[in-house]
């Protein structure tokens, strides 16, 4: 997916999902638009339900779709990355951005070797994305282009998440991204580049990042907000409803609408 996106100048959307309604909504949106899609779970999601529940559920949904669907472990520790491989995930991310450069490289290389035995691609992160993802909170630490080149060469990683000014969670204002830095990383690194913290980014900013070399864009917060607000609105209007399928459908429709908007932005450059 990512190599095709890199070759054609678009990006693949990766959407964090927490339950059946969100997963079904994302695949339904991608199927309607006709583009491949990545569904992702974080380590906290994997604590909410066993990983093999997600692999089974998403495989069943994907088998009924006409587009390609991948299941990705997002921001996992080394242990979570290995557990995701064993559970049948088709892509994993080891996030060693909180470690020293050397420890990040060495551990990433070990995960790459383990994943290669299952022909599974590995994403890593260099620098750090701001904001909070699960229990990890960090300040933005911009990715150094030459360190990125050295990191990719040593580890053999398949894709690289870079820090250019985005953050997880909700932005208090419009973020100012370092596109010049992104373009320099792109010149030195051959593997597809990944943008985290895209929820809330204007469409034009996302397109600018894709032109600068981004091949995968991650969304999480926007979907959670859409799902939760839809349920709140429905329950406020229908306080006597007790059938989860009723308000689950509202969450499904809200997440599908957001997903279609994001996919339309990044897959039609």
CB 89 within 8 A of CB 51: yes
Rounded to the nearest 5°, which phi and psi values hold at 91?
A: -165, 145
Cα distance between residue 237 and residue 207, in whole Å: 38
157-195 in b/e form (b: 16+ CB < 10 A) is bbbbbbbbbbbbbeeeeebebbbebbebbbeebebbbbb
- CB-CB contact of 267 with 37 (8 Å): no
**132 strand-pairing partners:** 137
Instruction: Answer yes or no: 74 catalytic.
Output: yes
Tokens of 108: 């990433």
**Is residue 244 within 8 Å of 268, Cβ to Cβ?**
no
Structure tokens at 262: 């994001």
CA distance 129 to 166: 6
3-state helix, strand, coil in the chain (%, to 5): 50, 20, 30
Q: Say which of 63, 74, 144, 236 is annotated catalytic.
A: 74
Q: Enter the tokens of residue 9.
A: 């100048």
Structural contact between residues 158 and 123, judged by C-beta atoms closer than 8 angstroms: yes
Which position has the token pair 């890593």? 124
* Catalytic residue positions, numbered: 74
């Amino acid at each position: 997916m990512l190599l095709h996106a890199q070759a054609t100048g678009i990006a693949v959307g990766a959407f964090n999902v927490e339950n059946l309604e969100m997963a079904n909504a994302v695949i339904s949106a991608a199927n309607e638009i006709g583009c491949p899609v990545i569904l992702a779970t974080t380590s906290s999601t994997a604590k909410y339900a066993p990983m093999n529940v997600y692999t089974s559920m998403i495989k069943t949904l994907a088998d009924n779709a006409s587009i390609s669907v991948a299941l990705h472990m997002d921001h996992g520790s080394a242990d979570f990355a290995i557990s995701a491989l064993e559970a049948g995930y088709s892509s994993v991310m080891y996030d060693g951005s909180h470690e020293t450069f050397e420890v990040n490289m060495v551990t990433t290389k070990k995960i790459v070797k383990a994943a290669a035995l299952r022909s599974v691609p590995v994403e890593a992160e260099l620098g750090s994305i701001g904001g909070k993802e699960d229990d990890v909170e960090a300040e933005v630490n911009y990715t150094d282009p030459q360190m990125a080149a050295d990191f990719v060469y040593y580890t053999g990683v398949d894709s690289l998440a870079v820090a250019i000014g985005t953050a997880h969670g909700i932005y208090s204002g419009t973020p100012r991204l370092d596109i010049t830095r992104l373009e320099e990383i792109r010149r030195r690194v051959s593997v597809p580049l990944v943008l985290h913290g895209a929820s809330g980014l204007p469409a034009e900013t996302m397109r600018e990042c894709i032109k600068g070399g981004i091949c995968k864009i991650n969304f999480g917060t926007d979907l959670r907000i859409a799902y939760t607000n839809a349920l709140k609105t429905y329950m406020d209007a229908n306080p006597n409803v007790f059938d989860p399928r009723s308000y689950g459908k509202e969450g499904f429709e809200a997440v599908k609408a957001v997903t279609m908007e994001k996919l339309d932005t990044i897959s039609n450059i």
